[in-house]
Structure 1
Amino acid sequence: MEVKDLHVSFDTYGGEVKAIRGVNFDLYKGEALAIVGESGCGKSVTAQSVMRLLASPPVRYKQGSIIFEGQDILKKTEKQMQAIRGNDIGMIFQDPMTSLNPTLRIGNQIAEGLRKHKKLSRHQAQKAAIEMLELVAVAQPDKRVNQYPHEFSGGMRQRVMIALALACNPKLLIADEPTTALDVTIQAQILDLLKDMQKKLGTSIILITHDLGVVSKMCDRVVVMYAGQIVESGVIDDIYYAPKHPYTKGLLNSVPRIDMDREKSLTPIVGTPPDLFNPPAGCPFYARCKDAMKVCQQHQPVMEDMGNNHCAACWLYHPLAQAAGK
C-alpha cells in the first residue's frame, strides 16, 4: 500500500480542522508498520481513512491518494468499500466492548463477515467461527461461540476482535491501539498472538499506538507523527538507537526504562501541540523544540534522507544547516 500526500480535514462549526496534512508512507507485504505519536497527532484518522470509515461530511479528503494493490481507496464507491472492509482489510478497534454488538452472540458476529464475503452457509460460517476462536486461543470455543460479549473478560474480548478481523484472512490488518485498555500481562499475550497470526497468515499489519514498548516488540518499521504530519520514519533500530527529530527524541526520553537510574526523573516534552484549526506556517514542533531556529518558525522542513530509508523532517539536517555547524 502507498499513501501519497494525504490531506484530511473536518468541517466543524468552529472552522476547518486540518487533521492530516501531507502524509506519505508505504507498507510492504508481510510487514508490520507502527504509526506512533501522542494523542491528537492524526494516527487514528490516518487508519480510518485507509478503511474509509470517516463520515463525509464532516470529513473531506482534500488531496492525495491511498493506493491499495494498485487501486485508489479514495476513489471507491461505498458499495465497493463494503467489499473491501473485513475482506481485504481488517481492523481491530481500541475498545472491544464498544466495538462488539452487545445484543449478538460472538459466533454470529464472526460469521457475518464470512457469510457476506466468502459466501459460506450458516453452518459453515459457524464452524469457521469456532475455528477462529480456537486459533486465537479462546478456551472451549464451541461453547464460547454462543455467548455474548459481556460474558468475556477484556482480554478475551480483544481476542474475539482479532478473530473477527482475521476471519476472512485479510491482506492488511489495522490494529488501532489494541492493548490500550488491557493490563500489562494481557498486553503481552495479545501482542504475541498478533505476531503469531502474522507469521501464520502472512498478513501485513499497521499498528497504531503511543506505546513505544509495544512497537519494539511488534514492528519492522516506525512512522512518527506530530500535528497531522510525519516527522520521522525508519527501521526500528534507527528510530530507537539513532533518533534524529527532536520530537522522536522527546518521546523516547519520556518512556521509563528498566535500566534507568532511580534518582533520575523522566524528561517530559514541555508545551502542547499546535492548534490544527490554524496550523503554524513552519515546523509544527517549533514552539516545543529546544533546538529551534528562525527558519523553523517560517518554513516547513522537508524530509531529509539519513540513509537506510531513515528520514526526518527537520531543518537541523538540511545541508545548509550542516555547513553552518548547527
Structure 2
Amino acid sequence: MSNLLEVKNLQVSFQTFFGEVEAVRGISFNVEKGKTLAIVGESGCGKSVTAGSIMKLLPQPPVLYKGGEILFEGENLISKSEKEMNEYRGNKIAMIFQDPMTSLNPTMKIGKQIVEGLRRHKKMSSEEAHKKAIEMLELVAVPQADKRVNQYPHEFSGGMRQRVMIALAMSCNPSLLIADEPTTALDVTVQAQILDLMKDIQDKMGMSIILITHDLGIVADKADDVVVMYAGQIVEQGKTNDIFYNPKHPYTKNLLASVPRPDMKKDEPLYSIQGTPPDLYKPPMGCGFFDRCNEAMIVCENNMPVFSNHGNEHFSRCFLNHKLANKEV
C-alpha cells in the first residue's frame, strides 16, 4: 500500500536563552493511506513537536528545522511557505488538539467555527456551509445538532467539546488526521466513545490517522503501526502486534510493564520506570535510555546504537539486538 506521509531524518530544535534544545533528533517513519500510526512515549519525548512540525504550526523562531524532509503526497512540506501551508492545514491535513476548551474560540459559536473552514477551503456559500456544519455535528453524534450549532463552547461538556473538535477537523474531509492526546481529559467511558467515533469516521472517509498518546491500551486496540519515541528519537517501530508481543527495546518493554494487568493482585505494586528522561539541552552521546536501563552496557553510554531489523518492518535501536551482542568476541 502506498504511503500518504513520509518523514525522513527530521531534526527540529528550539533556540532558547540557555542554548539549543534538540527536541527531535533524526526520526523517520511512514503513514500508509487509510491506516493508523500511533506515536507513543513519555511526556517530553518529542511526540507533539513531531505533530506540530508536520503541519508547521511551531513558530520560527524559536523553532529551527535543522534537517530532513516531510513528504505529504510527494510534496516536501518543510519547503512550503506559510501561504502554501494554509492550503494544507484544515483541508488536507487536520489536527485534534489535547484540550478542546483552549483550542476552540470561546467567543464564537461552534457552527461559525466549522463554517469558517468550509468557506475558506471548499468555497461553499454561507447556507451550504451551515448545512454541512450541522451534518458534521450529527456525524459525531452531537444531539439536537440543528440547535447546538448556534451554541458556544462553554455550553458543551468536555466529551461534547471533543466531538465538536472532531467535527471541525473532519469538515473538509482531510486525507490525514493528527490526533494529539485526543482523550487525555476525558473519563474512560467517553474515551471509548471518542475513539470508536474516530475509527468509524476513518472507515467511512478512508483517511489516515496519526494517534499521539501515552496510553498503550488505546494503541493496542486502534493502531496498525507503532512508533516508540524517547529523548527525541525513535527507539522502536513496527506493526502493533510485533511491538506488543515481541518488543525488542528495553524502553518498550518497560512501557508495557507499566500498564496495569487484569490479573494483578490487589497488593501488587504497579511497575514504574525509575529516573527521568535526559536533558535535551545537551543530548547524550550514546543511547538516551542508558541511565534508566537495567540492561545497559558500557558501550551504550557513549555510542549511539543503529537500528536492527527484526523482519516485517520491525526495527529497534539497541545494542542488545546487535548480531554480536550475545557472542564471545
Q: Give your verdict on TM over 0.5.
A: yes
In structure 1, give the amino acid aligned to 2:210.
Answer: I
1:219 aligned onto 2:211 = no
Q: Give the match for residue 317 of structure 1.
A: 321
User: 1:89-128 residue pairs with structure 2 within 5 A?
Assistant: 89-128=93-132
Q: What secondary structure sits across from 2:325 in the alignment?
A: helix
Q: Give the match for residue 289 of structure 2.
A: 285
1:205 aligned onto 2:206 = no
User: 1:1-326 residue pairs with structure 2 within 5 A?
Assistant: 1-324=5-328
- TM normalised by structure 2 equals 0.98
The Cα offsets for residues 194-253 of structure 1, whole Å up to 9 and x where unpaired, read as 000100000100000001011112111110000000000111111111111000011111
Q: What's the offset of the Cα at 1:262? A: 2.6
Q: What secondary structure sits across from 2:212 in the alignment?
A: strand
Q: What secondary structure sits across from 2:141 in the alignment?
A: coil
* Whole-angstrom CA distance in 1 between matches of 2:159 and 2:20: 38
In structure 1, runs of 5+ residues without a counterpart are: none
In structure 2, give the amino acid aligned to 1:296.
Answer: C
* Whole-angstrom CA distance in 1 between matches of 2:19 and 2:147: 51
Q: What's the offset of the Cα at 1:313? A: 0.2
Q: What's the offset of the Cα at 1:260? A: 2.0
* Whole-angstrom CA distance in 2 between matches of 1:26 and 1:208: 14
In structure 2, runs of 5+ residues without a counterpart are: none
In structure 2, give the amino acid aligned to 1:310.
Answer: H
The Cα offsets for residues 103-161 of structure 1, whole Å up to 9 and x where unpaired, read as 00010001111000000000100000000000000000000000000000000000000
In structure 1, give the amino acid aligned to 2:28.
Answer: N
In structure 1, give the amino acid aligned to 2:176.
Answer: L
* Whole-angstrom CA distance in 2 between matches of 1:59 and 1:298: 27
* Whole-angstrom CA distance in 2 between matches of 1:323 and 1:262: 42
Q: What's the offset of the Cα at 1:95? A: 0.1
Q: What secondary structure sits across from 1:319 in the alignment?
A: coil
The Cα offsets for residues 161-209 of structure 1, whole Å up to 9 and x where unpaired, read as 0000000000000000000000000000000000001000001000000
The Cα offsets for residues 20-72 of structure 1, whole Å up to 9 and x where unpaired, read as 00011000000000000000000000000000000000000000000000000
* Whole-angstrom CA distance in 1 between matches of 2:320 and 2:81: 43
* Whole-angstrom CA distance in 1 between matches of 2:173 and 2:285: 43
In structure 1, give the amino acid aligned to 2:259.
Answer: V
* Superposition CA RMSD, Å: 0.9
In structure 2, give the amino acid aligned to 1:236.
Answer: T
In structure 1, give the amino acid aligned to 2:190.
Answer: I
* Whole-angstrom CA distance in 1 between matches of 2:170 and 2:234: 28
